[in-house]
Amino acid sequence: MSGHPLYCKSRFVSKRNKTRIVNIGSLGVGGNNPLRIQSMTNTPTQDVDATVKQSIALAEAGCEIVRVTAQNVDAAKALKDIRKKFSAAGFIDIPLVADIHFLPKAAMEAVEHVEKVRINPGNYADKKKFAILEYTDSQYQEELERLHEAFSPLVLRAKELGRSLRIGTNHGSLSDRIMNRFGDTPLGMVEAALEFVRIAQSHNFYDIILSLKASNPKVMIQAYRLCVQKMNEENMAYPLHLGVTEAGDGEDGRIKSSIGIGSLLADGLGDTIRVSLTEDPVYEIPVAKKLAQLAHELWETEYCENPLINKNTIIINDTINPYEYRKRESITLNFNDKVIASSSMHPAVFIKVHQSLDQYQAIAKEVIQLNNTYSDAKIEGLIFETNTVEDLHYLQLLQKIFISTSPVFILDLDPGLSLSILQNFVQFQFAHPARWILCKKCDEFSDGENVEGYLNFTKEHGLFLALDITPTELLEQRQILEKLNPSNLIITSTKPTATLSPIATYRAIAEIIKSFAIHPPSLWIRNTPFNTVDSKETFDSKILTASIFTGSLLCDGLGDIVSVENVSHLQRSTALAYGILQGARCRFSKTEFVACPSCGRTLFDLESTTAAIREKTGHLKGVTIAIMGCIVNGPGEMADADFGYVGGAPKKINLYVGKECVQYGIPQEEAVEKLIELIKKNNKWVEPKSVALFT
Ligand code: SF4
């Protein structure tokens, strides 16, 4: 049960949402068809041979739908030859899609040659002027009639030719009309798409696919969810094309895409995906394939059909509003007046130490070095497997090495380490008291010990208790937790259950806690092999699985602490945890780049330019820089960027501060330095004293 109308049957079950089947040529999308993988060429469209060559490379890598920009009527005409040559090369079954902005005439030409046409509702019949207008109801209605007139010819021709259409909204390019009535919001994005859907339906045309992309994963997650909920209200079930726009390149681009696309797939939404990376588009395909594989594994796992978590049929209420972000309330986790985590702070980062504790000196050296080098991405807690009395002894020695700035120690306790053993070590005080969190699996208490004993023990010694617990076990502990009302409790969960997926497990735990009459404990999202489908997975694949699991929970407002424990390398797991926090826009530790993937409209070499800008400005924590191949979607596309580096003409760059263009037509060779000057002039520059992890 939810206090908000839902977009799916239950947020505790990853079941695929049923959509109608839309055929793009001979390729079915939606219904029970596999999640389709797509990408987009970035060659100049009128260079037919280059575009065909890249389309072939994409198809051979596993791309099932290829999109090509048609930036004018001549480019749209070139699609005829591209289709012909692509088919002749043996790819007759791979549909081509024309990407249209602004020009209905180009769309009318393109629909003659390719299987699908994508239009952007924000600019198909609207010129964006950034005018602040007040629309009366009758003016609004007139605008809709104008839209009807402008869009209908394309719908009717697509219907005649058996083509499909994608109505592809972008967060950054909403029309003035939509901005005026709904603002720059997920609801505005949804309405922008549905206005066009209703026009198509008025002509009995239903071969429509929808997308609602944004560069901010939280915004796109909310927009897609809301779209499905609004479609349900209007008895629509159009397939969804999922994507995060301007995700950037490298690890950051993969993380951001996985958070946005993966969270929705885990919700059961999505019929085709495009991972937009500022790289050769061929590199998008393995990432998209892995996301699709994970989605199908999740959808096909037989988790509980109902939101019931045990045989007592206890129903978990789902009380969060899935269409807006709000961080969950929780207690403040505080050691000797140093706050480690609280609901008013960004989530803390704990890192698992995979070395054995007898190497405590090497561990200390590495942690101190990392924390000194990456001062904006420090390790705030160290997690240790603590199995023996010797381990406790080494922990004391390790603690001696660190000074007062030491990370918190989290002891994953072996069942053999009873409270009486721990007593001797906890009482042993150094120059500063132990900053330990004892982590106990709820089904591993020694004889005669229980939650109450551990809570009393940790409280008495100024420590915290992290209970590693399943939702069912948590319900069983209700009485004792309500009796003690602990203020030093952290909840985490690493044990798989047969009834709930890992994401659903944490969602359920958050809801169960909320229903108890206790101080809300901190929630620690532990990304352990429990969340990993394939134990032999590569690091590249771990980036994706960790981003989906941790990122989707963060975007739901859950998580006071995060740890990525399926990566054993200390620096890499730290970088990944901070990367996911930044990707989910929950904690910034380096510059945020919003970089478009490039396409046939791109006016400079995006890949190398992005790398050059990243190298020089990657340390500017809290600054957002947009790098866009052209300004087709309007400066709104760089919605929340502080600075923009945008192609204005071939090899000529325009620089922006916010949404305002402040320098035009700078030769590309000079533009990076000019950008830095601009950042300095606006007092956002700092000298690179600390290094950002994996920039
Ligand atoms: S912003 Fe980038 S991807 Fe978008 S149309 Fe322009 S060049 Fe192509």
Task: Supply the mean pLDDT for the chain.
Answer: 90
Nearest atom in ligand 1 to 99's CA: 5
Atom of ligand 1 nearest to the CA of 602: 7
Q: Do domains 336-583 and 592-681 have the same CATH topology?
A: no
Residue owning the nearest CA to atom 8 of ligand 1: 599
Strands 338-341 and 333-335: antiparallel
Residue 60 exposed, middle or buried by CB count within 10 Å (0-12, 13-18, 19+): exposed
CA of 618 to the centre of ligand 1 (A): 22
For residue 172, pLDDT over 60 is answered with yes
Q: Identify the pLDDT of residue 635.
A: 65
How far, in Å, from the CA of 630 to the mean position of ligand 1?
5
How high is the pLDDT of residue 4?
81
Of 67, 100, 596, 604, the one to substitute when testing ligand 1's pocket (max ligand atoms within 8 A of C-beta) is 596
- CA 603 to centroid of ligand 1, rounded, Å: 9
Instruction: Name the residue of 123, 244, 598 to mutate for ligand 1: max ligand atoms within 8 A of Cβ.
Output: 598
Collapsed DSSP state (helix, strand, coil) of residue 228: helix
Q: Which residue of 120, 601, 604, 633 sits with most ligand 1 atoms within 8 Å of its CB, as the best mutation to test the pocket? A: 601
Ligand 1 atom with least separation from CA of 597: 3
Q: Are strands 272-273 and 624-628 parallel, antiparallel or unpaired?
A: unpaired
pLDDT at position 599 is: 87
Of all atoms in ligand 1, which is nearest to the CA of residue 628?
1
Q: How confident is the model at residue 152 (pLDDT cuts 50, 70, 90)?
A: very high
What is the chain's percent helix, strand, coil content, to nearest 5? 40, 20, 40
Mean pLDDT is lowest, of 191-195, 400-404, 624-628, for 400-404
Out of 258-262, 422-426, 666-670, least confident range: 422-426
pLDDT band at 415 (very low <50, low <70, confident <90, very high): very high
Give residue 131's pLDDT.
Answer: 59
Percent of the chain's residues with pLDDT above 70 = 92
Whether the per-residue pLDDT at 691 is higher than 60: the answer is no
Whole-number Å distance, alpha carbon 69 to ligand 1 midpoint, is 9
Give the phi and the psi of residue 595 in degrees, each rounded to 5.
Answer: -120, 130
Residue 128: pLDDT band by 50, 70, 90 thresholds?
low
What per-residue confidence (pLDDT) applies to 492?
Answer: 97
Pick the residue whose CA is nearest to atom 6 on ligand 1.
630
The pair of structure tokens assigned to 210 is: 């929808």
Pairing of strands 348-352, 208-213: unpaired
CATH of domain 336-583: 3.20.20.20
- For 515-570, the pLDDT digits (tens) are 999 999 999 999 986 655 455 677 788 899 999 999 999 999 999 999 999 888 89
CATH for 592-681 (3.40.640.10, 3.30.413.10, 3.50.50.60, 1.20.120.1200):
3.30.413.10
Q: How many A from CA of 414 to the centre of ligand 1?
A: 54
Q: Which ligand 1 atom minimizes the distance to the CA of 629?
A: 7
* Residue to probe by mutation, ligand 1, list 630, 646, 652, 656, most atoms within 8 Å of CB: 630
Residue nearest atom 3 in ligand 1 by C-alpha distance? 598
CA–centroid distance, 665 to ligand 1, in Å, is 18
| Distance (Å, whole) CA 653 – CA 337 | 50
Q: Where is average pLDDT lowest: 289-303, 309-323, 353-367?
A: 309-323
Q: Among 45, 103, 244, 633, name the best residue to mutate to test ligand 1's pocket (greatest count of ligand atoms within 8 A of Cβ).
A: 633
CA distance 461 to 581: 32
**Mean pLDDT value of segment 191-200:** 97
Expressed in angstroms and rounded, the spacing between residue 172 Cα and the centre of ligand 1 is 12
Q: What's residue 694's pLDDT? A: 44
Conformation bin of residue 673: beta by default, left when phi > 0, alpha when psi is -120 to 50: alpha
CA of 264 to the centre of ligand 1 (A): 24
Q: From the alpha carbon of 600, which atom of ligand 1 is closest?
A: 8
**Cα–Cα nearest to 646, from 681, 671, 624, 670:** 671
The secondary element (H helix, E strand) that includes residue 574 is: helix 570-583
pLDDT value at residue 612: 92
At residue 313, does pLDDT exceed 70? no
Give the nearest ligand 1 atom to 71 CA.
5
Mean pLDDT (whole number) for 264-293? 96
CA angle 21, 189, 40 (to 5 degrees): 60
In angstroms, what is the span from residue 613 Cα to ligand 1's centroid? 18
Q: Any residues with CB less than 8 A from the CB of 535 and at least 6 apart, and which?
A: 529
Per-residue DSSP letter, 322:
T
Domain ranges of the chain: 22-300, 336-583, 592-681
Question: How remote is the CA of residue 255 from the centroid of ligand 1, in Å?
Answer: 21
* Site of tokens 């690493």: 494
Q: What is the pLDDT of residue 540?
A: 82
Residue 594: pLDDT above 70? Answer: yes
Distance 597 CA to ligand 1 centre (A): 7
Q: Give the pLDDT confidence score for residue 224 in this predicted structure.
A: 98
**pTM for this model (two decimals):** 0.94
Cα–ligand 1 centroid distance for 183 (angstroms): 23
* pLDDT higher than 50, residue 695: no
CA dihedral (196, 200, 201, 205) in degrees, to 10, reads: -150
CA 303 and chain centroid, separation: 24
Q: Which atom of ligand 1 is nearest to the CA of 42?
A: 8
Ligand 1 centroid vs 282 CA: distance in angstroms?
Answer: 17
- 597-625 confidence digits (pLDDT tens): 888 888 888 888 999 999 999 889 889 99
Name the least confident of 133-142, 355-364, 464-473.
133-142
Lowest mean pLDDT among 229-233, 244-248, 494-498: 494-498
Give 501's pLDDT tier (boundaries 50, 70, 90): confident
Ligand 1, atom nearest to 596 Cα:
2
In whole angstroms, what is the distance from residue 387 CA to residue 651 CA?
Answer: 61
Residue to mutate, 97, 100, 599, ligand 1, most ligand atoms under 8 Å from C-beta = 599
CATH hierarchy code of domain 22-300: 3.20.20.20
Residues within a 6 A CB radius of ligand 1: 596-599, 601-602, 628-630, 632-633
pLDDT band of 330, cuts 50, 70, 90: very high
What's the average model confidence in pLDDT over 563-588? Answer: 93
Mean pLDDT of 478-490: 95
Tell how far the Cα of 688 is from the centroid of ligand 1, in angstroms.
Answer: 30
* Mean pLDDT on 143-171: 96
Q: pLDDT band for 633, please (50, 70, 90 cuts).
A: low
What pLDDT was estimated at residue 533?
A: 47
